[in-house]
Structure 1
Amino acid sequence: MAARLSLVLQNILVALCAVIVFVVVWYHETLRTLWPDEGALTLFHALIIVVAILGDLASIARSISVERDWIVEICGRDKDLLATMTSRMRAIDLTTAILSPVATGQIVYFIALQYAAVFIAGWNLVSVFIEYFLIWKVYMEVPALKSKMFKTRKDKVDTELLFTNEGIQLDEKSQQEQISQASNKPQEETEKCIKSSINEDNIIKEDNSLEKDACNQCLFKMFKSFILLFRGWKTYMKYDVAFAGLGLACLYMTVIGFDSITVGFAYAQGISESLLGVMMAAGSIFGIAGTFAYPRIQKRIGLERTGLFGLGFEIFSLCFCVASVFAPGSPFDLLYRTRENDSSNIIVVSSVLGIDNTTITSNLTVNVTMPPSHEASDPTSYISIGLFLGGLITARFGLWVADLTITQMFLQAVVETERGIISGIQRSLNQLMDMLKFLMVILAPYPQEFGLLVLISFVFVCLGWIFYARYSYSVRGHLFHFDKLCPDKQNNNIVVETVDENSGNEEINNLPMQTHTT
């Protein structure tokens, strides 16, 4: 039920968001003049953001119910099948991530933006029926999903019956008390004085308890979200795999990804839209290759080692991004703002002293606003942005290998009744790190400061590897087999067991024997 409801809500909200975009684009001039200070246009922009957020929440709910719950029931206890299924589903996601921007971009470029919004709205309204039928088909074909639904309903019915049975028992007790009170009426009159005082005390206690319950209910309603978050966090941290989840969350605190931030930086470095589209397609291809390679790597070296390999490969690839910060053509300059402030102060002082501002401004354009490192290097060099995009593309392989590894660990370790809670907490951690990333960009928005964001992102990826290594060490007892790299020198001594036949007792003698080499 949750999968189907979230699917319908997601498609409806996406279609509604596209319709609002169409209205904004088509009636743009009318909305600008409808209210003062473009109030109507601002309202529609805010409405687009709110509806898009709600659609994203519905998408997360669908992903949790299908990709984190259904897939475990479908695969059963077959870990290899689970790895294959998760990798195939991620490959489908990455393939659609390639096709959808290409299709929409062609419509925007050759026709118009408003018609692209109409296409998106129509596609979601049509595809919701196809997706709903496919989900229903999977539900009918897999008996484990039906049994799970019946189990959930049975638990609910048992809980309701428990409360009703308790109510029946309480009613029977009250009836028996009334009968006993009617039969013992004379004794009741004689003990009326004694019981009256006791009843008054009980009434006072009951009133106090009711007031406490009312206060507790009010507090619970006020802080319900924080209480649920705290309980979910406690449930999350009781699993050893939580450290692997923290490592996965650290990977979201990075600007080294094909998102709006990286696209804007690439445009600022002179990369055209067509070339950047090719680069994004290449990154998706590397990600798809990682999803196809993941089941084979996992089957050969094990699940925990696969995560170490994926994160290690990602860190190795991101080293090229770090090198791009200091390569020729990089705009990295942490003193950029102070240079601008110094230039503005000099111009103000020159105006006060009556000095020609044109001469000073022309000199400052070269000596102040331009970083000193750019004077000796070629201003049209693409070495820096080439290293950055090359490392970013190749890192997609290790990123998706590590993501699939940690996802399968959660699917195998988490109890069935707690999958939704754990998946929700993990998504919240990922979104929190993603929000911190945008906050970091707000604090350092200029291209000259983007290198600092790259270095911070690299540190967080390394921190994610440390969290995952902590989990791997707790499970395996080691990270690497150093004993195989340093063989024991005492292997030349062979232990020989001899038996004393006369006494019937076994004696173990360590007899060194010479080994002959050929």
Structure 2
Amino acid sequence: MADPEQSPLLPSSTDSTSATSLPTVSLYISHALSTWNSRVFEYAAVLFLTEIIPGSLAPSSWYALGRAGSVIVASRQIGNYIDSSPRLPIIRKSIVYQRIAVIISCGILFLMLRASVNVLHAATPGLVFSLQSELLIVLIFLACIERLAAMMNLIVVERDWVVVIAGGNIPLLTKLNSQMRRIDLFCKMVGPLTISLIISFTSVKFGIWVVLVTNLLSVGIEYWAIARVYHRVPTLALKTPQSHRSLSPSNTSVQAVRRSFSSWLTPFVEWSRHAMFLPSLTLSLLYFTVLSFGGQMIVFLLYEGFDTAHIGWLRTLSVILELSATFSAPWLMSKIGAIRTGRWFINWQSVSVVFAVVFFCYFSDRVGLWGLIAGVILSRVGLWGFDLAVQVQIQNGVEETKRARFSSTETAIQSIFDLLSFAATIVCADPKQFKIPAIVSAAAVCISAVLYSVYVYRAQKL
């Protein structure tokens, strides 16, 4: 029986990388486990916090705000570290750091859950609330570590390893991107649905145990699988670490602060001057949204009377449509190219979110709510098709020596917009005010579509 690792991705190619056997199974196993754990914990943490501290959007918003803020602050350091280090040690560290952060977070959630039960019987409930607040701060700190490790893993695999494995073969690169995205969407569909059903039919405590045990069991397999990929693709070991200029000693603290700020700002300036700036910016702007079945919308739907199982099924339907984009986008790119494909999908998303918000604002009853849900679900096809089209452009348009730096900066920009979306629900913490961030989200998508049209116009003139 043939080793599944020996199956070539394409039947034939002039490129040596695609003509040889590739360890695709190991690559997909590692990515699937990493994505599953990340998606489940990201979704479950919102459900856990909502159950432990009910009645407000603020706790989950502060939690997500901290995650996004950590990326903004540490993006330069992460990018420089990836560029200046060998590939295998980086990704192994990202796996271990991510799992340790989640495991400790589960312990903190157990303590918060116990405190939420004790508050009902406490003689001094104020002390219990204070304890919960302190534990929430620790949880946010751990979430920052988990987010940075996940970011490191994502940049290394999707923006570097996949490009090196493809070896300049565009059809192979598109195929790898699509398969990785399908894995991501499958985990996004099945993972949250699974944890939602577990919580619905058992308890929050049992759900926390499931997340903890899953992370414990998967770390060794991830560690082994990614090493197998590295050793089976010799070109991954050929990376030449890039050194980045460090800050020179300063005579005054004021000069030190200025130099530090200038150093932090430099990658953003480089990113804004790169040829791939506009497509990167338009993709990043889409992170300024509450219309995504993310934390804010989940809390809003729970407030409106949906239970976790119903939300899980709605999210599953959304992901099924998102998966369709991983088939339609590569096909369309093969017909009209990545740039024009991106325009089709961003326009689809714009029309869908405008429909959703108009329905939601015009109808105040259940009809408006279901119109919102339907529009959001339809918009996800446009989002993921656009994501794939832009990713191919960026992978081919950014130099190898700048991939990590560019990608980490792009992730920081995405986190800024993500942060703004959570800031909107902190300001509008009452679920009755959800229409305001929903309108702002739709406006962000429309602005993104306009900016991408500018990019397409410029590209056609070249």
| TM-score class normalised by the smaller sequence | 0.7 to 0.9
Q: Secondary structure at the match of 2:168?
A: coil
Answering whether residue 462 of structure 2 is matched by residue 427 of structure 1, we say no
Alignment partner of 2:281 out of 239, 243, 246: 246
Deviation larger for 404-413 or 106-115? 106-115
State the partner residue of 2:420: 436
What does the per-residue CA deviation read over 1:424-477, in whole Å, with 9 as the maximum and x for residues that have no partner?
111111110111112222333344533333222221111111221222222122
C-alpha distance 236-278 of structure 1, shift in aligned 2 (>3 A) = same
Q: Which amino acid aligns with 1:85?
A: L
CA distance 1:425–1:111, change in 2 (3 Å): same
Deviations 1:338-370 (A, max 9, x none): xxxxxxxxxxxxxxxxxxxxxxxxxxxxxxxxx
Q: 1:72 aligns with which of 158, 163, 167?
A: 163
Task: State the partner residue of 1:3.
Answer: 91
TM normalised by structure 2 equals 0.74
**Deviation per CA, 1:461-514, whole angstroms, max 9, x where unpaired?**
111112212222221229xxxxxxxxxxxxxxxxxxxxxxxxxxxxxxxxxxxx
Assess, with a 3 A threshold, how the Cα gap between structure 1 residues 237 and 27 changes in structure 2: closer, same or farther.
closer
1:215 partner SS: coil
Aligned-partner Cα distance in 2 for 1:214–1:104: 51
1:91 counterpart residue number: 182
Aligned counterpart, 2:39: none
CA distance in structure 2 between the partners assigned to 1:33 and 1:47 by the alignment: 25
- The amino acid across from 1:323 in the alignment is V
Matched, 1:113 2:148: no
CA distance in 2, matches of 1:245, 1:33: 54
Out of 81, 84, 105, the residue aligned to residue 172 of structure 2 is: 81
Give the corresponding residue for 1:350.
none
User: What is the deviation of 1:270?
Assistant: 4.1
Pairing of 1:320-469 with structure 2 (within 5 A):
320-328=355-363, 330=364, 381-469=365-453
Aligned to 1:16: 104
Q: Distance in 1 between matches of 2:361 and 2:195?
A: 36
Amino acid at match of 1:6: S
| Structure 2 residues without counterparts, runs of 5 or longer | 1-88
Single out whichever of 282-291 and 220-229 deviates more from structure 2: 220-229
1:123 matched residue in structure 2: 214
In structure 2, relative to structure 1, the CA distance for the partners of 1:454 and 1:116 (3 Å cut) is: closer
Output the CA distance in 1 between the equivalents of 2:318 and 2:150: 23
For the Cα contact (< 8 Å) 2:318–2:378, is it kept in 1? yes
Task: Tell me if structure 2 keeps the 8 A contact 1:317–1:392.
Answer: yes
Q: How many residues align?
A: 368
Question: 2:344 is matched with which residue: 287, 305, 309?
Answer: 309
Distance 1:219 1:317, change over 3 A: same
State the SS of the aligned residue for 2:362: coil
Report what 1:300 is aligned to. Answer: 335
Residue in 2 that maps onto 1:132: 223
Between the aligned partners of 1:81 and 1:253, the Cα distance in structure 2 is 32
Note the C-alpha offset of 1:119.
2.0
For 1:7 and 1:33, locate their aligned partners in 2 and report how far apart those are by CA, in whole Å. 43
Match for 2:369: what amino acid?
Answer: I
Q: Distance between the aligned counterparts of 1:129 and 1:33, measured in 2?
A: 46
Alignment CA distance shift 1:116-1:271 (3 Å): closer
Q: CA deviation at 1:103?
A: 2.5
Instruction: State the Cα distance separating 1:108 from its structure 2 match.
Output: 2.3
Asked if the contact 1:17–1:51 (Cα under 8 Å) also holds between the matched residues in 2, the reply is yes
Please, what TM-score do these two structures have when normalized by structure 1? 0.66
Q: Which residue of 1 aligns with 2:193?
A: 102
CA distance in 2, matches of 1:297, 1:216: 58
CA distance in 2, matches of 1:324, 1:383: 8
Change (3 A) 1:295 1:449: same
Q: Match of 1:438, SS?
A: helix
RMSD: 2.5
Mapped partners of 1:24, 1:386: distance in 2 = 34
Identity in percent: 26
Cα distance change on mapping 1:29 and 1:271 into 2, 3 Å: closer
CA distance in 1 between partners of 2:192 and 2:436 (Å):
29
The question of whether the paired residues in 2 share the 8 Å contact of 1:19 and 1:118 is answered with no
Give the secondary structure class of the aligned counterpart of 2:429. coil
Give the match's secondary structure for 1:135: helix
Partner residue, 1:37: 127
Cα separation, 1, equivalents of 2:186 and 2:249: 54
Unaligned runs of 5+ in 1: 160-212, 331-380, 479-518
Return the alpha-carbon distance in structure 1 between the equivalents of residues 251 and 403 of structure 2: 28
Distance 1:116 1:270, change over 3 A: closer
Flag the 1:268–1:41 CA change in 2: closer, same or farther, 3 A: closer
The CA deviation at 1:67 is 1.0
Residue type at the aligned position of 1:140: H
Q: Residue 250 of structure 2 aligns to a residue in which SS?
A: helix
Aligned residues of 1:321 and 1:454 also touching (Cα < 8 A): no
Give the aligned partner of residue 185 of structure 1.
none
What does 1:431-510 align with in structure 2 at a 5 Å threshold?
A: 431-477=415-461
What CA distance in whole angstroms lies between the structure 2 residues aligned with 1:220 and 1:312? 47
Q: 1:13, 1:54 within 8 Å by CA — same for their partners in 2?
A: yes
Q: CA deviation at 1:311?
A: 0.1
Cα deviation code 1:139-179 (max 9, x no counterpart): 0111110122xx33xx77xx9xxxxxxxxxxxxxxxxxxxx
Higher relative contact order (CA 8 A, sep 6+): 2
Match of 1:261 in 2: 296
| Aligned partners of 2:196 and 2:309 also within 8 Å | no
Aligned-partner residue type, residue 238 of structure 2: S
Paired AA for residue 423 in structure 1: S
State yes or no: 1:53 paired with 2:144: yes
The structure number with the bigger radius of gyration is 1
Report the Cα offset of residue 408 of structure 1.
Answer: 1.7
Deviates more, 1:296-305 or 1:19-28: 19-28
Which whole-Å CA distance do the structure 2 matches of 1:468 and 1:435 have between them? 22
Partner Cα distance (1:117, 1:55) in 2: 16
For 1:94 and 1:428, the matched residues in 2 are separated by 22
Alignment check: 8 A CA contact 2:155 2:404 kept:
yes
Q: Which one-letter code corresponds to 1:84 in the other structure?
A: K
Aligned partners of 2:106 and 2:209 also within 8 Å: yes
Contact 1:266 1:385 in 2 (8 A): no
> How far did 1:223 drift?
4.5
Distance in 2 between residues matched to 1:320 and 1:301, nearest whole Å: 27
Question: What is the alpha-carbon distance in structure 2 between the residues aligned to residue 223 and residue 413 of structure 1?
Answer: 32
Picking from 16, 19, 25, the partner of 2:113 is 25
Flag the 1:105–1:278 CA change in 2: closer, same or farther, 3 A.
closer
Task: Give the letter for the 1:440 counterpart.
Answer: A
